[in-house]
Structure 1
Amino acid sequence: MKNFLLLTRPFENGIIVREHICCFLSEFFGTGMLLFFGCMGCVYYEVNKYNQWLSALNFGLVVLIVVQCFGCCSGAHLNPVITIAAWIYNMLSGFAASLYILAQFTGAYCGYALLRLLLPSSLCTPNLCMTTLRVDITIWQAIGIEFCTTVALVWVTCAVWDPRNVRMQDSAAIRIGLTISALALAAGPLTGASMNPARSFAPAIWHNSYDHHWIYWLSPIMAGIFAASFYRVVFRREVDSADINNPKLEAIQIP
């Protein structure tokens, strides 16, 4: 995965400017692909009956594809919550994080717009890919579910960033994709398992439907702040650069 520490110094030189542009475009196209292909898997039609297994697996595999495509460019956050976590983790400057978040929201909007443009009108249902609450779920239950699922997602991501796991980056796309699928399978029937304000924002703004929409902003963002801060303070351990490639280095070392 990309070493983002260079992005803590915006506009230091031409290389840094080019890196910011590269990261912006990677997040824009990556989040656009997430909404385009992910929401395409939520379309209900006769040949491909919508079901929770299909949707969860589809979103996870799309994330896998996008992380594989753009992980080396921007880290493929695809989610403002992950970007906030990276900022807390001291991997991004505030300026770089703001560029990421802008790219994610604009990419999500454009990706969903492209999907609506290419789908026949009969398949563009009013609730296509909307994250909504189950009818018997209370507000506090929904907040708790979104909070817990987002904490799990951020902790997996922080573990991928952990210096002790630097030799295990080849499987990062698989790990994150399967995490998304697992969490979507668990929480999807209850809240939609958004874990991502940009993912919920694009369908909501296109359908002009904002019922309980604030939950998909407040809960994931608070979860991201908590999870990243907790992991950084409690779990993260620094590793000397000389030890990174040491095959005897263990993930857990007790002095």
Structure 2
Amino acid sequence: MARITLGNVGEIMQRRFVKALFVEFICTYLFVFAAVGSAMANEKLNGNSLVGLLYQAVAQALVVSGIVSAGLHISGGHINPAVTLSLAVGGHCTIIRSSLYWLDQLTASTLACYSLNYMTGGLAVPVHQLASGVGYTQGLLMESVLTFSLLFTVYGTMVDPKSGAAIGLGPVLVGLVVGANTLAGGAFTGASMNPARSFGPAFVSGDWTDHWVYWVGPLFGGGLSGYIYENFFMVTPPAPNQPVFLAEDYEDY
């Protein structure tokens, strides 16, 4: 069974932990900047069509692939509270680390959206909302399934020690899943899969319509995915020093 670990205050003082927080902040900022920026560019170019959706899907696939690769060996490159929660459920991230990662991710997302608003001459930052005809239950299920598939890919390609050569391709494969999910769910919920991605635009715009859906859906789907993979498919225990940082692996450099 997966082991959820509280952690200890001492890990906050470790140089490795501080570096991880700093890198997680940078990675989340860059991800949200590109993801939200592509949505703003699409609106400025009078998008909101299939071509515009494809444009955003490609942008998110590319930025996730690059940014997760860049941060993987330092912070794990989570850039997403749902990823952090899922890894905590699987015993790969302590509760203390998870809490500070969440704060990191939300702050970075907010700063990225303020930056975009300023750099684009005051253009409105688009928020995630349910499309017309999509109810709360439908939206929750959509975001849950999309995030479940995202985390299932994370576990299968980067966390599971049996994934072998797929570990090196993990960030690219995860980016492809994000792109595919954006195409599948973008027209209905915006395909957030990431509470931080939805939080920044909502905070900057002051528009919290349907916002709770983008927390409950991804966190439920991500947490469930981590629990199922860890307890039913992860036959052998994770090897030490995996890039997601195991709860017991906190020696300082």
2:44 alignment counterpart = 45
Q: Equivalents in 1 of 2:78, 2:29: separation in Å?
A: 12
Q: Judge conservation of contact 1:164–1:237 (CA < 8 Å) in 2.
A: no
Q: Judge conservation of contact 2:11–2:17 (CA < 8 Å) in 1.
A: no
Whichever of the two has the greater Rg, that structure is 1
Give the unaligned 5+ runs of structure 2.
Answer: 1-5, 240-253
Q: Judge conservation of contact 2:160–2:238 (CA < 8 Å) in 1.
A: no
SS at match of 2:10: coil
Give the unaligned 5+ runs of structure 1.
Answer: 1-6, 242-255
2:101 alignment counterpart = 100
Q: How does 1:144-163 map to 2 (within 5 A)?
A: 144-159=141-156, 160-163=158-161
Displacement of 1:45 after TM fit? Answer: 2.7
With over 3 angstroms needed to count, the CA separation of the structure-2 counterparts of 1:13 and 1:118, relative to structure 1, is closer
Q: Equivalents in 2 of 1:230, 1:70: separation in Å?
A: 26
Q: Pick from 212, 215, 221 the counterpart of residue 213 of structure 2.
A: 215
Displacement of 1:49 after TM fit? Answer: 4.2
Displacement of 1:114 after TM fit? Answer: 1.1
SS at match of 1:41: helix
Q: How does 1:1-255 map to 2 (within 5 A)?
A: 11=10, 17-42=14-39, 43=41, 44-46=43-45, 49=47, 51-121=52-122, 124-125=123-124, 128-159=125-156, 160-238=158-236
Which structure has the higher relative contact order (CA within 8 Å, separation 6+)?
A: 2
Aligned residues: 228
Could you report, residue by residue, the CA deviation over 1:87-119 in whole angstroms, capped at 9, with x for unpaired residues? Answer: 111111111111111111111111111111111
SS at match of 1:171: helix
Displacement of 1:33 after TM fit? Answer: 0.6
Identical positions, percent: 26
Q: Judge conservation of contact 1:89–1:229 (CA < 8 Å) in 2.
A: yes
Q: Judge conservation of contact 1:67–1:75 (CA < 8 Å) in 2.
A: yes
Q: CA RMSD in A?
A: 2.0
Q: Judge conservation of contact 1:8–1:91 (CA < 8 Å) in 2.
A: no
After TM superposition, the score normalised by the length of structure 2 is 0.84
Displacement of 1:129 after TM fit? Answer: 3.2
SS at match of 1:99: helix
SS at match of 1:191: coil
With over 3 angstroms needed to count, the CA separation of the structure-2 counterparts of 1:133 and 1:64, relative to structure 1, is same
With over 3 angstroms needed to count, the CA separation of the structure-2 counterparts of 1:114 and 1:162, relative to structure 1, is same
Displacement of 1:204 after TM fit? Answer: 0.5
